[in-house]
Amino acid sequence: MRSLKRYLVALDVTKGLTRYPHMIKWSDAVGSSGVPASWDETSTTNDAGEWTLSSEGGFLIDSVPLRDDLMVYKESQSWLMKFVGGVDIFDFDRRFSTIGILGRRCAQEFFSGKHLLFTGDDIVLHDGQQAESVVNKRIRTALQGTIDSNNQPRCFLAINYPKTEVWACYPESGSSLPNRALVWNWVEGTVGFRDLPNSPFIESGVVNPVTATELWSGAIGTWATDADAWGDRSYDPSQRKMLMCSPGNTKLYNPDSTQQFDGVDMTATLTKTGIGFPVKIDSPPDYTNEKLVLGIWPHLSGTIGGVVNVYLGTQQKLGDGNITWSNAFPFIIGSTEYCDFVGEVPAAKIHALKFESTSNIQWKLSGYDVDVVLAGEHGAR
């Protein structure tokens, strides 16, 4: 149930023992602090009414305000409910014929009068007129078929304001609760995936501190290895942070407050596939010539002394998920500069890179340079 103007609006209505999954019903007009006097659509003395949308597009799922109107979402369609007054009271206009949502909380009001939708195989941003995907085809392909079909109504969207991220949370096949999230950063335009501790609900708000301010007495390691900031605390009254629940272990989690998962070191992985390394500087990607990658200069920063394993891979063609990886090259932050891959992988037209850590460190990759030659030229160097 939602509110629009001076009315309450109900979706997917049940009358007696009969369910009407395509019906939208609204109450009589009500004051700001009152309750509807009537929901009787047959009365001629009030504004209560109902409207049944076509059965196309599946059942009604949820609705979210969009400026002065209400966007109504079905499983694969989106409608605009607009106040017009008079005899009709509301007008219904189908805006998107093939875009819907998986379940409740899969539509979020976003900045500047826009909505963000989790459709099940895409993340869509729209303003009621134009809709666009915020993830590329490769990410959409990776998402398709991974959501558990029996528990897809438990999918939802959550916003991580400090990190400028939107999390599309879903249960993977075989899981009853969301245990995975597709993460989109709306500032940097990056997309990735992260694990969740079986969380059916995540919300953002002001989170009170659970630990004291970072003090000298609690410092671990050295100036170079301690990842915390002096005077840092988990509470900031001006900042909205995420809080997630996990009923299986009766805990509440505050994501991104440490570099671990509930005190356990995690595996952090960054992968880029389908790379057509050009041999010449400022040349376009080369997907036709076989090349030999001799080494990588990663631009890695983070916890001094922390180890990030670097892997070089080869692919047969674009979009091929069968990647042959090299052995790990341990890159030590603060001391290693070059990763030598001579003799590690054969020549190939298309390559892949993977950066991975398994310890309690923080790190950031801002780019990389590559030492690459055409196949057959290595011996002449």
Residues contacting residue 241 through CB under 8 Å, at least 6 positions apart: 161, 162, 204, 205, 206, 207, 234, 254, 256
Residue 257 has pLDDT above 60, yes or no: yes
Closest among 122, 123, 157, 156 to 141, alpha carbons compared: 122
Read off the pLDDT band of 248 (50, 70, 90).
confident
Tokens 């920063």 appear where?
301
Residue 11: its pLDDT value, please?
A: 96
Once rounded to an integer, what is the mean pLDDT over residues 11-32? 93
- Selection from 338, 205, 355 nearest residue 267 by Cα: 355
Mean pLDDT for 40-54 is 92
Per-residue model confidence as pLDDT tens digits over 126-136: 999 999 999 98
Band of residue 230 on the pLDDT scale cut at 50, 70, 90: low
Res 370: pLDDT: 95
**Closest residue by Cα to residue 63 from 149, 126, 139, 2:** 2
More confident residue, 223 or 61: 61
**pLDDT tens digits, residue range 61-70?**
999 999 999 9
Burial class (CB in 10 A: 0-12, 13-18, 19+), 293: buried
DSSP code of residue 218: G
3-state secondary structure 151-189: CHHHCEEEEECCCCEEEEEECECCCCCCCEEEEEECCCC
CA distances from 225 to 41, 93, 212, 358, 359 (A): 68, 58, 20, 16, 12
So what's the pLDDT on residue 142? 82
Burial status of residue 81 (CB atoms within 10 A of its CB: 0-12, 13-18, 19 or more)? buried
Residue that wins the pLDDT comparison between 178 and 216:
178
18 versus 224: the higher-pLDDT residue is: 18
Return the DSSP state at 344.
T
| Contact criterion met (CB below 8 Å) for 125 and 113 | no
pTM of the model: 0.72
Q: What is the pLDDT of residues 327-342, one digit of tens each?
A: 999 999 999 999 999 9
User: Would you place residue 311 in the very low, low, confident or very high pLDDT band (cuts 50, 70, 90)?
Assistant: very high
Going through 232-377 in order, the beta strands assigned E by DSSP cover: 241-246, 251-253, 260-261, 264-265, 268-275, 291-302, 307-315, 324-325, 329-332, 339-340, 350-357, 363-374
